[in-house]
Amino acid sequence: MKSVRVSWRLTPLCLLLGSVYATSAGATAAAQLVALEAAASAQPALMHARFWQAGFDPDTYLVSEKLDGVRAFWDGQSLRFRSGLPIAAPDWFTAGLPKTPLDGELWLGRGRFDELSGAVRKKLPVDTEWRQLRYMIFDLPGAPGSFAERAQRTSVLVAEARQPWLQAVAQNRIPTAVSLQNLLDQTVLEGGEGLMLHRANALWSPGRSDVLFKFKPMPDEEARVLAHLPGKGKHAGRMGALLLVLPDGQQFALGTGFSDAQRAEPPPVGAIVTYRYRDRTPKGLPRFASFLRVQPQ
C-alpha cells in the first residue's frame, strides 16, 4: 500500500466527520470538528517511552514493572486520559488525591485490562468497580529534580495521602543487562507486560527522549483508525482489516488479532488502537502486526 503523509491530529478528525460533511448538516459537522479539535489540543504534556535496545546498560536507570493499565493524568484538580478527555471518577476518589500533578496508571492487576477499561470509560462511575482499582503513580509532571528525587517525593506524597488505592510504583536498580533480561522473563512468566526504565538523573521533560524506555518481549505501538476495510472469504460481510495511520503519517492495514466480535463491531474511525509487531520494514512500517486493544479516551 502506498504511504501517504497525513496529519496525525487533523486528518483523522476530518475523516471521522467526512460522512457528515457529505450531508446538509455542515454546521453540526463544523461544531463537532471544533469540539474534537479542542479535546486534541487539551492533551496533557507527558513523557513517552522509546523501546529499550540490546546492548544498552541499565545501571544508570531505575526499573519498574510496565503496568497493564490505563494512563491517567491528575493536574491537581481533574483526572484525565492522556488524550485530554476527562475521566469520570467518583468524587471520593478525586477528593483523596493531593493537589500536585500526578502521572500514573489506573490498574486492576495483571491480565485485567479489559475489565479496567470498561470501568473507567463509563460516564457514570460505579463505586464497586472503582473500589477495586488502584492509581499507581510513577512520576510528578513538571516537578524539579532528577527522576530518583521525584520518585522519593512520590513515595512521600502517597504516604501523606493515606489512601489505600493510591500507590507509588516501585523503582529498583538493576545493575546488568543479564539481570534485566532475567527480571523481564520472570515478570512476563508471572503475567506481567514488561518493564519500564527511567534514567535516574534525568530531569522531567515532556515527549519522547532517551531517558525513558519500555522493555517488552514484543514491542507495541499505537495508531489511529482511518477506515474499516471489508473482509473477504470467511470474513465477508464484516471488517477484514483496519486502515491505520501512524504518528509520522504513514498508513498500513492491520488484519490479524481480532475476535469475531471485534470484526462484527470494529473500533470506530478516529479511535486509537494498540498493536504488537515483530520488527519494521526499511520504510518504518510494522511487520507481522497484530491487534492488541482499543485505548480508552
What residue ranges define each of the domains in the chain, with the CATH number in brackets?
10-41+219-294 (2.40.50.140), 49-215 (3.30.470.30)
Task: Give the pLDDT confidence of 240-274 residue by residue, as tens digits.
Answer: 999 999 988 999 999 999 999 999 999 999 999 99
Which sign does the torsion angle of CA 160, 164, 169, 173 carry?
positive
pLDDT for residue 3:
41
Q: Does pTM surpass 0.85?
A: no
Q: What's the grid cell of residue 47? A: 513523557
Q: Strand 79-81 relative to strand 47-51: parallel, antiparallel, unpaired?
A: unpaired
2, 66, 99, 122: which one is catalytic?
66
Does 66 participate in catalysis according to the annotation? yes
Which mean pLDDT values do the consecutive 10-residue runs of the chain (297 residues) have? 40 38 39 48 84 90 96 96 94 95 97 93 96 98 97 97 97 96 94 95 93 90 94 91 93 94 93 89 88 87
For the segment 44-91, what is each residue's pLDDT rounded down to a tens digit? 889 999 999 888 999 999 999 999 999 999 999 999 998 899 999 999
d(CA 201, CA 213): 14
**According to the model, what pLDDT value does residue 41 have?**
52
Closest C-alpha to 171, from 143, 144, 142, 202:
202
Distance CA(36)–CA(14), nearest Å, equals: 10
DSSP state of 211: E
Q: Would you call 111 helix, strand, or coil by DSSP?
A: coil
Interatomic CA distance for residues 100 and 177, integer angstroms: 35
Q: Quick one: pLDDT at residue 146?
A: 98
Could you give the 3-state DSSP secondary structure of residue 255? coil
